[in-house]
Structure 1
Amino acid sequence: MKHTFLSLCLLAGTMLAPATSFAGQAPGLASAPDIPISHRDRIYAAEQFSNTVSVSDPVDNRLLGVIKLGDPQPGNLSPLYKGQVLVHGMGFSPDHKTLAVVSIGSNSVTFIDTATNTVKHTTYVGRSPHEAFFTPDGREVWVTVRGEDYISVIDADTFEEKMQIKVPAGPGMQIFSPDGKYGYICSSFNPETVVVSVADHKIVGHVKQASPFCPNIAASADGKQVWFTLKDVGKTQVFNGQAPFDLVKTLDTGPITNHVNLVMNRNGSFAYVTVGGLNEVKVFRTDDFEQVATIPVGNLPHGIWPSGDGTRVYVGLENADRFAVIDTLTNKVIGDIPIGQAPQAVAYVPNAVPEGDGRQNLVPLGTAGEAAHLKLAAKGASGRSAPTSVTLFDQGLTQVLQAAVTGLEPKKPYVLALSDKPDGSGRLQLLSTFMTNPAGSAIVNAVGPIRQIVESKHEDEKRYLVVAASTDGKPGAIVQFQAE
């Protein structure tokens, strides 16, 4: 009787247990088991203006602290400065023990131990690297040296560059087929993605991009598809992950299309695309490419990565200094996490901390969490959603201004300026000139004590942000003005 009762209990327990895993998550194999979310997992973001890597616990959506890789301005302007500048790209090893963090301004790849948050080594490569990722066998780290025309191949044991792979100038990002056979490398300066054989580092395939500006690429866990984004034209393209690497689909996703990642859960297989100019994440089925959801997430969504079981997606909000947490089964935002300034690449690493609390060498967010947020509205468009978000990232006495400008004419010159009148009718002080991309958008930066004057309590000192058309380098008609 006792044996029968125990058998029935075990059977009932099996029947009541959560559904079994459906598939592993990219960049791993589809045959790999899903990994349920736990306190051993970590979410990381590379933060461009605070020069930090934030470390968060996904169970309770809580920031644990940041790894400080460098200082904000003006400290990083010193000729004796040794830290990193423009912390931007991120990848992780197959054993989940090492992060590879790319800093564009200091031409470096910093290798970080995930269990202790300590820097194991820093490798310096060529001009303006953008992203880095480990080969699936863990032996090499490929770094896209976007300011030049090659992939820097780093030995994962010695952290030394072992060779360079010549590719079209401006390689944006690389990712690998889950079986480790191919590396897929898109370009940020040329309309061409190349496929490289990992075994011999030779180019074996070419894919024509619809534009020259690809910042991000992802391969499906089943090895069948590769998705890449085109930031300048607001499109996302899909090609066959196996020879002949033919183009399968082109999707219009929206202005400032940033990153893409792939998720498998009990509802199916999906691509999640961050669209910075719309402040949305768009979700597409990977079988028929139907758009199944549009998720408002906040200002300028950039990097994106799924949890180890595909039930959550974490989105770095570049102009909000936060993570948006999305439930992939309902496609609803269920939480947010405050992080450092201007998060770029994002990585979710299951079982990053096998034991202990994983808080060694973390420091508080501090001034890296300080920023002011503004919006610009199109002239004569009162009551509509603002087309431009602006963030002023505190760097002490100065701020780094970043505007995600949308809603303008394509390929036209404009200026971002300060006006002494709210509607822009007064005298203008030029902050930055810029050219819109083919989608009528742009990311615009400026540096100065801007927050002090746009938030001044003294009316005679206060200034207002505006966007004006540009003629021969001089401001013309006001097209956007500060709404809040």
Structure 2
Amino acid sequence: MNKPLRTAILFAVPLLACAMAASAKEPGNVFISSEKDHTVTVLDAKSQQQVGVIKTCKRPRDMRLTGDKGKLLVLCGDDGSVAIIDVAAKKVVDKIKLQEGAEMFDLSPDGKTLYFSNEDDALLVAVDLASKKVSKEIKVGEEPEGVLISRDGKIIYVTSEVASLVHVIDTASGKVIKNIQVDKRPRRFALTPDGKELWVTNELGASVSIIRTTDHTVAHTVRFEPKGFRADDITPVGVTMSRDGKTAFVALGKANHVAVVDVGTRAVRNLVLVGKRAWGLGLSRDEATLYVANGLSDDVSVVDIAKGRAVKSVKAGRVPHSVVVDD
């Protein structure tokens, strides 16, 4: 190798290393909504220390990042609105009035429409984000809660707590095309990465219903029976899925544990002790850390997934509800 070429390569290698380091995303933030403090607590994902508290609207609950991750949308139940937070600035930059009784929501894949459940009026409501106007109202069962849109945007799933149903709604027509009977008080959803299974937590059924999305029938029910707990203390709510679709994490509510479930075998691999009333869940980008919002101990448990245990507890306002990880 001639000297000029060797010199060029030696000079280029450090530059390439610098470029790769610059393009690698540094750990960002973890956002936790606090129902009683009307705030969103911000943690640094690397240090897991609090770096900010954002005043929102009354009783912030469900949260979603926009597709570009530039904005965080926070639904506030007690004033029926969505606060829009600028992620970089860590402050509310806009609000959209919804309706009283707003519970949970999801965003269409194109980011143009927000769909939320109205618990008081038993509705799924569509809001055009550009005009901030209601574009559609769809009647569903009593006390709707969970809302999830399929990845192609063609189907919306909504839980009805009182009717113990999952409603399957055609987005184009705005009609309920099927009602799926599940266990008592269904709450939240998670889709497997291939979109073939919909996991639904049943708070008063101590279970998860697994629905085939091809024919919208219940394929299996995972029941949770941790030793030492009464059945009415096992109240699954939050659920999230690993990117490879092999592991599901289910927050067991008053049982103060998170169940780690093998998706393929449906077996509970581990039960992780966390804080009081484990509720919302958030998984880090590298899937090494699970954040668990504990509604009755006013904190977030930081779970090391490899170790299979909580390694830290961080205060997160009164009655933390949901967790969004932006790292």
Pick the TM interval, shorter chain.
0.7 to 0.9
Say if 1:197 and 1:4 are closer, same or farther in 2 by CA, change over 3 A. farther
* Higher Rg of the two aligned structures: 1
> 1:285 maps to which residue?
262
Between the aligned partners of 1:335 and 1:38, the Cα distance in structure 2 is 21
Identity score, percent: 21
**SS class of match (1:112):** strand
> 2:238 maps to which residue?
259
Say if 1:119 and 1:162 are closer, same or farther in 2 by CA, change over 3 A. farther
> 2:188 maps to which residue?
216
Between the aligned partners of 1:220 and 1:109, the Cα distance in structure 2 is 28
Residue pair 1:321, 1:342 contacting (<8 A) in 2 also: yes
Q: Give 1:342's aligned amino acid.
A: V
> 2:123 maps to which residue?
150
> 1:68 maps to which residue?
55
- Post-superposition shift, 1:4? 8.8
Between the aligned partners of 1:328 and 1:201, the Cα distance in structure 2 is 40
**SS class of match (2:37):** coil
Does 2:316 match 1:339?
yes
Q: Give 1:149's aligned amino acid.
A: A
Between the aligned partners of 1:278 and 1:161, the Cα distance in structure 2 is 39
Say if 1:327 and 1:180 are closer, same or farther in 2 by CA, change over 3 A. farther
Candidates 211, 229, 232, aligned match of 2:204:
232
> 1:50 maps to which residue?
37
Between the aligned partners of 1:199 and 1:112, the Cα distance in structure 2 is 29
Q: Give 1:42's aligned amino acid.
A: N
TM-score scaled by length of structure 2: 0.86
Q: Give 1:285's aligned amino acid.
A: D
- Post-superposition shift, 1:36? 7.4
- Post-superposition shift, 1:311? 2.6
> 2:291 maps to which residue?
314
TM-score scaled by length of structure 1: 0.59
Does 2:218 match 1:247?
yes
Residue pair 1:37, 1:59 contacting (<8 A) in 2 also: no
Aligned length: 309
Structure 1: gaps of 5 or more residues? 18-34, 70-83, 351-484
Q: Give 2:242's aligned amino acid.
A: V
Between the aligned partners of 1:214 and 1:191, the Cα distance in structure 2 is 6
Supply the RMSD in Å over aligned alpha carbons: 2.6
Residue pair 1:99, 1:112 contacting (<8 A) in 2 also: yes
> 2:277 maps to which residue?
300
- Post-superposition shift, 1:157? 2.3
Say if 1:124 and 1:101 are closer, same or farther in 2 by CA, change over 3 A. same
1:351-392 deviation digits (Å, cap 9, x = unpaired): xxxxxxxxxxxxxxxxxxxxxxxxxxxxxxxxxxxxxxxxxx
- Post-superposition shift, 1:316? 0.7
Residue pair 2:165, 2:186 contacting (<8 A) in 1 also: no
Mapping for residues 132-147 of structure 1, pairs under 5 Å? 132-147=105-120
> 1:186 maps to which residue?
159
